[in-house]
Structure 1
Amino acid sequence: MSPFPSSFDEFILTSSPDGPIVAYEASTGATYTRFSDSRSPRRGLTMVNQGLIAVSHVFSETGAGSVQIYNWHISNVFNNFPLPEPVAPLVATSDGAFLFVGGLSGTIHSLSIPSGNLINSLSLHSKPISTLHLNDDGSLVISGSNDGVIVMIPSFKLVEEGSYSLAEDDSRDFILHQWKAHSDSITALKSGVGVCRSTLISCSLDCTCKIWDMSNGVLIQTVAFPYAIFGVAVDSRESRFYAAGEDGLVYMGSMNRKMIDKGYELFTSSKCHNGSIVSLVLVNEGKDLVSASEDGSVWKWDVMNGEVTMVLGNNNDKRSMISDMIVAKRDRNYGVIMENDVVGGSEINGFNSSYSSCFSSSRLYDEKVVTNLMQITDFGQVLDVIVEDKKKAINMLESAIEMYERLLKLILKEAMRGIGGSNDDEDAEKQGDKEQEEEEKENDK
């Protein structure tokens, strides 16, 4: 048991291209509530601030795109934000103020919440955007497209007014990194803590997961699988990842650079979904993994032994095809619902919290020795936590410094453009005055 009991209730939300949004209680697996049909495509589900659910929607009659907003306490659509094209993946900022949506044209649209006003539309890809991701501090929007290209852009560029509806050539000035990552469509992206020393995992229909250095887009390792991978989850220590297979199996790979060459292994071979797994999430402080399949099944796995411990949903539930799954948490004290994209592991900062079980049943130690050992263990854990937190703080500081340097260069570049434009106007004005003086002299003659 963790020494810091959780004050949150966790819920699993699934969307469907032909059925309702369903919310399950993560602890019991029971169906908590249902929301009206959303016709939502892949990666088209996210939580917004204060218990709002945002879902990409395609109208069957016209094919037009929009974002539908649901209130956690109301089953029907709460609001609808029309968009200039069909959209699929979407992601919200942590404060719920902005929503980023990827379109079929390769454009990222940014919306203001709760008004739904369209702030910006930046054309960043030549093919449809297949997935969107925000890094841990929300400073970067990372997008992947059907042609295997990854683009990183500062999130503030998407929410500042004045660059509305920029074409692809004009949008390139805002791009921090862009590279060809896969030979086929990118299905999922997941980043670690920080920017400078952080890693990025990308999954693709080309049957690979690739691990990248986020600071420069350099490839660290490629892990090849027998089937396409549709989703990925990463543990809190960023030591291993879980991959959602097209074959209905869960795979596990190492992110440790010393172990990374070993590739992947089957997370379990005893249980297999009847359809492709579309999404994976970690719950219960990383002790459990939840998988959602196209066949409508949602399973909870024990991370330690790789066994299915629970099938979510009630026996009489009608199963619909699943297009996406997320985990949300509710604060028991304040009732606020938020998306829980980064979930802590079963250990506190990587250290097992159930240390006392190592000694409690042993008669080789008296109570005093056991107490001393526990105190030493506690002290060692505290020191390790401090060291780990210090490393993370340094990484985040370095990330912020580098980001500010890049943003300063962008601002200076735009400022120089503005100065150049004003100088051209002054030269044109002087030339006009000179021509007018010459004309007056001619008239006097």
Structure 2
Amino acid sequence: MSPPPKKLVLAASSADAGVAAWDLRTGAEDIRLRPCASRPHALVSVADRFLAAAQAPPPAGNSGTVHFYHWDKPQVAIKSFPAEPIQVLFADPEGSYLIGGGGKGNIFLWEVASGELLHTWHAHYRAVRCLALYDYLLVSGSEDGSIRVWDLITLLDEQSRLEANTSYLYNFSQHALPVTDIACFLGGIAVSSSEDRTCKIWSLSEGRMLRSVSFPSIIDSVALDPRSHIFYAAGRDGKIYVTAMGVDVSSHGNDDSSILGALDDHSKAVTSLAASSDGLLLVSGSEDGNVRVWDTRSQQVTRKFKHSQGPVTNVLIVTPKRINLPPLQPLRKVRSSNGEAEARAVILPRPENNIPIPGNSSSIFLERCLDALQKHDGSSRLFEPGVSSLYGAPNQQGSEWRSRYLELQDLFVHEQWKFVFLDHVLKSVGEMRKFQWKATKRLNIETG
């Protein structure tokens, strides 16, 4: 019987202490990746295949690098040089995309498989502090206190971007001070934390705030319990607050009655949190340089790790996938819209021996988007032949769109590595979205 896969707890610091990895089962240190000095939310595991960490720029400079690490090598495998210092890094669950938030308010979207910079846009007036993803909706929080929700399909389609009234779907400005973290929950619920000592709960489907919870301390990080409507809030007073979302509560405004209790074992501010996929474990990092592993059922500490003398800024729980990868290739330059070579991105080549890596192609993301379009508001009728249009005539456009949809689906299910067709597909997806939107709008007008 093969042993269970190794599960690691990772921690990084803003001090150059490297990324420490401990075996969650034995408690022994597994490896320490050097060098690394990262801000909060700047360390990410890309589908557990490799690690990426945005480096804090030196005090005398305004440039920063992104380091990429293999699991079994303690040194940096690749250094990437973005156009501006990256404050926060985020990867989608499949590891298809790497998203970076910059110190000047810009967001960068790279495709992992090719290393291409697919799109960059100015998202906020000040630095991007945190990112989260729910399906194809990207949520960003900024130092300017705003939270914005972005539709990645629209962002990747040039025609849709030009026709949109705004580049974002929603702009939330209820936080009075910088946003420190965002996490997304099933059902399109997002939880944000801020230096204004509140956590706010949002509906991404309705584009509104559901409620606000006040805390006795600034909250720097949040983690969701996937088993229930509970989230953990990391306070600068050294406590981790166990909080009920209460999204079904009809009252709005501030509500501090949802705090169910607190986990208390750190001597300084708790800076980062990570919950296991089953919700049974919670990992916390603190300014005291320590990492704690909590059993969420008993609310007791089961492991204690010492990272460094400096503050811990990031913690992760990962199950490394040690697949047979060839050496990473040299970085290619990618160009901005004005034609200047201004950024570089990691290239993760295809594995040897034809070992598939799930999520390495744009097709997974696009197929999910196409499915979402067909299911949107139950309006798959737009793709059904013979269905009457708004004016009673046969819906010929619907039949045409269904044919195009099936062609695109076949293309990306059976020939998913052909990234060269991405632009064509995105334009078609954008046209389908516009057709649905216009049809719905006309129907609403006619029905009063």
**Superposition TM-score tier, normalisation by shorter sequence:** 0.5 to 0.7
The structural deviation recorded for 1:158 is 4.9
- Structure 2 residue 278 is the aligned partner of structure 1 residue 288: no
Q: Secondary structure at the match of 2:312?
A: coil
Matched, 1:217 2:207: yes
3-state SS of the aligned residue for 1:133? strand
Task: Provide TM-score, normalisation by structure 1.
Answer: 0.67
Q: Give the aligned partner of residue 311 of structure 2.
A: 321
Does the CA-based 8 Å contact 2:48-2:320 persist in structure 1?
no
Inter-partner Cα distance in structure 2 for 1:404 and 1:174: 24
Cα distance in 2 for residues equivalent to 1:42 and 1:178: 23
Once residues 65 and 3 of structure 2 are traced to their aligned partners in structure 1, the CA distance between those partners, rounded to angstroms, is: 36
- Structure 2 partner of 1:13: 10
Equivalent position SS for 1:237: coil
Tell me what 1:145 maps to. 142
CA distance in 2, matches of 1:263, 1:319: 35
Residue by residue over 1:52-85, the C-alpha shift from the partner in whole angstroms, topping out at 9 and shown as x without a partner, is 1111123425320232111111111111221111
Q: Equivalent of 2:55, from 47, 54, 57? A: 57
How far off its partner does 1:404 sit? 9.2
* 1:92-139 CA distance string (max 9 Å, x none): 12232321100111110112325544332111111111101111x3x1
Give percent identity, aligned residues only.
Answer: 27
Establish whether residue 299 from structure 1 lines up as the match of residue 292 from structure 2: yes
Equivalences for residues 128-143 of structure 1 within 5 A: 128-135=127-134, 137=135, 139-143=136-140
Which one-letter code corresponds to 1:401 in the other structure?
H
In the TM superposition, 1:164-183 aligns within 5 A as 173-183=166-176
Q: 1:409 to 1:245 in 2, by over 3 A?
A: farther
Query: Which structure has the larger Rg over C-alpha atoms?
Result: 1
Q: Distance in 1 between matches of 2:67 and 2:207?
A: 34
1:38 is matched with which residue: 36, 39, 44? Answer: 36
User: C-alpha distance in 2, partners of 1:245/1:68?
Assistant: 29
- Bigger fraction of residues in helix: 1
Q: 1:170 to 1:296 in 2, by over 3 A?
A: farther
- The DSSP-based 3-state class of the residue aligned with 1:330 is coil
Deviation at 1:328, TM superposition (A): 1.1
Question: Following the alignment from structure 2 to structure 1, what is the Cα–Cα distance between the partners of residues 48 and 138?
Answer: 22
- The DSSP-based 3-state class of the residue aligned with 1:73 is coil
Q: CA deviation at 1:221?
A: 1.4
Shift in CA distance, 151/171, structure 1 to aligned 2, threshold 3 Å: farther
Q: What is the distance in 1 between the residues matched to 2:378 and 2:149? A: 12
Partner of 2:335: none
> What is the TM-score when the length of structure 2 is the normalising length?
0.67
Cα deviations by residue, 1:157-176 (Å, 9 ceiling, x for unpaired): 4556x69xx9xx99863311
What is the DSSP-based 3-state SS (H/G/I as helix, E as strand, rest coil) of the residue aligned with 2:226? coil
Task: Give the Cα–Cα distance (whole angstroms) in 1 for the partners of residues 205 and 431 of structure 2.
Answer: 16
* Counterpart selection for 2:192 from 192, 202, 205: 202
Q: How much does 1:35 deviate?
A: 0.5
Equivalent in 19, 25, 28 of residue 26 of structure 2: 28
Q: What residue in structure 2 maps to residue 113 of structure 1?
A: 112
Residues 278-427 of structure 1: pairs in structure 2 closer than 5 A: 278-283=271-276, 285-313=278-306, 318-330=308-320, 401=376, 412=434
Unaligned runs of 5+ in 1: 337-395, 417-445
Is this contact kept in 2: 1:147–1:182, CA < 8 A?
Answer: no
Contact 2:14 2:56 in 1 (8 A): no
**How far apart, in 2, do the equivalents of 1:284 and 1:118 lie?**
30
Pairing 1:191–2:184 present:
yes
The question of 1:154 aligning with 2:147 is answered: no
SS in 1 for 2:376: helix
Kept in 1: contact 2:227–2:279 (CA 8 A): no
For residues 403 and 55 of structure 1, what CA distance do their matches in structure 2 show?
Answer: 41
Seen in structure 2, the aligned counterparts of structure 1 residues 74 and 157 have a Cα distance that, compared at 3 Å, is: farther
Distance 2:124 2:289 in 1: 32
- Structure 2 match to 1:226: 216
Q: What root-mean-square deviation, in Å, do the aligned CA atoms of Structure 1 and Structure 2 show?
A: 3.5
The DSSP-based 3-state class of the residue aligned with 1:76 is coil
Alpha-carbon distance between aligned partners in 1 of 2:67 and 2:374, rounded to the nearest angstrom: 34
The question of whether the paired residues in 2 share the 8 Å contact of 1:177 and 1:216 is answered with no
Change (3 A) 1:202 1:190: same
Deviation of 1:243 (Å):
0.7
> Which 10-residue stretch deviates more, 111-120 or 97-106?
111-120
- Aligned: 1:263 with 2:253: no
One-letter code of the match for 1:89? V
The answer to whether the Cα contact below 8 Å between 1:202 and 1:210 also exists between their aligned partners in 2 is yes
1:267 match: secondary structure: strand
Q: Partner of 2:361 in structure 1?
A: none
1:26–1:283 Cα contact (<8 Å) kept: no
Relative to structure 1, the CA distance from residue 157 to residue 234 in structure 2 (aligned partners, 3 Å threshold; closer, same or farther) is same
Distance 1:183 1:409, change over 3 A: farther
Query: Size of the alignment, in residue pairs?
Result: 337
1:80-99 aligned within 5 A? 80-99=79-98
Taking the aligned partners of 2:378 and 2:66, their CA distance within structure 1 comes to 31
The answer for the alignment partner of 2:67 in structure 1 is: 68
On the 8 A contact 1:134/1:141 being kept in 2, the answer is yes
Offset at residue 50 of structure 1 (A): 6.0
Q: 1:11 to 1:267 in 2, by over 3 A?
A: same
Structure 1 residue 201 displacement after superposition: 0.5
Deviations along 1:7-34, one digit per CA (max 9) or x if unpaired, are: 5432111111112111122233321110
